[in-house]
Structure 1
């Protein structure tokens, strides 16, 4: 994927105000409009300018774009930094359907990704919680009057991504999390408001789950209640374990004789070591299930996940006369041809 420098597309410095961005876009949109321009690449340029403006005009999209850094040049190979949006807080306002349709791979990767559970949208693709009112035109403490009556509306829900250790899902934890919320200052620059919250991570939380913090979203209007903050849970990449929902997998090395003859071995889990049996004649890649040893259930009526031990048969090195003699004895003892199936019909 190629990096796109949206500031370069609009011929602006990164310090540009939102008004600067609007003026630059209007100028370039007139220059490259396909109905007005005679340039051969006018349509492509018009689309590039439109994509850049779609990002930089939006407070949250611009802050998200800036958060990834500026060390890439236009056209360079690019991958978003791991967990770049951790702690990025954004509101739940709903964008206009289809307003960003047709933009390229770079835009889609950054701003149109939706997690598999259908929940949180990525920064920039904002959505409004069901039942929440549109309040974009009202000031933070402003009230509207209808027929002499005060109008109250709930505050917007906010969303953020928090990354925890897998072990915290097994035991629960108290975490202090830092969040950054994009806002527009009086001079028209996008800045980040920071805050820190103490959060209880419940035992049994799983990746993609949303934790609701009541009243921690945007302020209400009039007598309306404050919105809620939804924290989407993700796990740090683990050196040992892979996670799929509530199920957890670990690669377990075994010696050839353990796989062939069977063995009782000790296997680590995120909640402490357990013993398990390797059945006789186990092949490499075999998955053994430890029922209920995955991520715990989140309540008394829930079902815990399972832990899968995937066997990896590890050969000892033939690095001594004794080891080489042992391998020679094995070769003579077995009438074993590992590539026997090559001689048959592959169909």
Structure 2
């Protein structure tokens, strides 16, 4: 099996963030959903997922670096013949040349060969939990905000249904218990770890549980006030714009954010792109009753 560091294209001293970044780039490039019918991409995606599964686990990575497990996560026996450990140890006379072989000590021998895991491996069986399988799932802004159900096509052609909770954040990991790699022997399967990537929205922006939106309004609506329709993550609602509202003013829609948060609407005054002769004529002769300098805070006169 390929070296996981080489598979992800990172150095052996790479940080956890560097490993995560390399995995995400490769996973997006080789994901089966983006390469339908391409066996090479499917195999590459499997290798990338297996490599990240090992290197993203601090303990597994350390054991791999020490040579205790191989790239697949399987145990590696010590380099020297393990029976010598028993023969050379005090009281190890059973394993001297010509000595009888005692079947009762088989479990001890196998335990020594496989890292001393008591009860993990016997002469009759080897039980081990399956590895975790990692996948990347890109969802829309609204699905992340409101929650949804999506299906992932796995490298082997099977499908995995994923419930996206409302308010999920970019980079958040969803764990699906028992949906990972199959175990060995009677060992349980691993888990499926789904890393969420959220697409940006055309006009919504999220900060924590709050949603922010820039809303264009006409000069007439800003000066005279109006009721306008405003989009929210749950659908359009009516918003009252107070008279004499200025550009940059923020209005709050309580409870219209993510999971009980609020939505903040910032007004942006939009002027007509075509010529408006009546408006131009009025402004040429209009004198405000109250002098107003919008640049006063900048030192203007």
Of 268-277 and 197-206, deviating more is 197-206
The CA distance in 2 between the partners of 1:178 and 1:50, in whole Å, is 27
User: Size of the alignment, in residue pairs?
Assistant: 230
| TM norm structure 2 | 0.59
Relative to structure 1, the CA distance from residue 138 to residue 317 in structure 2 (aligned partners, 3 Å threshold; closer, same or farther) is closer
Q: Which residue of 2 aligns with 1:320?
A: 276
- Structure 2 partner of 1:178: 153
- C-alpha separation between the residues in 2 aligned to 1:264 and 1:280? 11
Alignment correspondent of 2:163: 201
1:219 aligned to which of 177, 182, 186:
182
Q: Give the distance between the partners of 1:244 and 1:341, measured in 2 at CA.
A: 28
**For residues 194 and 174 of structure 1, what CA distance do their matches in structure 2 show?**
21
Instruction: Kindly indicate which of the two structures has a greater share of residues assigned to helix.
Output: 2
With over 3 angstroms needed to count, the CA separation of the structure-2 counterparts of 1:263 and 1:228, relative to structure 1, is same
Q: Report if aligned partners of 1:169, 1:295 keep a CA contact under 8 Å in 2.
A: no
Distance 1:329 1:268, change over 3 A: farther
Residue 226 of structure 1: how far off its partner (Å): 1.1
Contact 2:54 2:71 (C-alpha < 8 Å) held by counterparts:
no
The 3 A distance-change label for structure 1 pair 50 and 316 is closer
- Is 1:336 paired with 2:288? no
RMSD (CA atoms) = 4.5
Q: Is the 8 A contact 2:145 2:233 kept in 1?
A: yes
Greater RCO (Cα-Cα under 8 Å, separation 6 or more): 1
1:143–1:151 contact (8 Å) kept in structure 2: no
Q: TM-score, normalised by structure 1?
A: 0.52
Distance 1:336 1:174, change over 3 A: same
- Provide, for residues 156-202 of structure 1, a one-character-per-residue CA deviation record: whole Å limited to 9, x for no partner: 223322111233245543322235xxxxxxxxxxxxx4545242434
Aligned to 1:240: 203
Could you tell me which of 127, 149, 154 is aligned with 2:57? 127
Deviations 1:239-263 (CA, angstroms, capped at 9, x unpaired): 1211233322211111234334433
| 1:155 aligned residue (130, 137, 160) | 130
1:289-334 C-alpha deviation (Å, 9 max, x unpaired): 21221223xxxxxxx2222212112223471322311322445665
Query: 277-286 or 233-242, which moves further after superposition?
Result: 277-286
Summarize the Cα distance change of 1:282–1:127 in structure 2 as closer, same or farther, 3 Å threshold: farther
Preserved CA contact (<8 Å) 1:263 1:278 = yes
Could you tell me which residue of structure 1 aligns to residue 233 of structure 2? 270
Q: Distance in 1 between matches of 2:186 and 2:76?
A: 9
Q: Which runs of 5+ in 2 are unaligned?
A: 31-44, 78-109, 112-117
Rg larger for: 2
Q: 5 Å matches for 1:64-213?
A: 64=25, 89=49, 93=53, 95=55, 126-127=56-57, 136-137=69-70, 145-146=110-111, 149=122, 150-169=125-144, 171-179=146-154, 193=155, 195-202=157-164, 204-208=166-170, 209-213=172-176
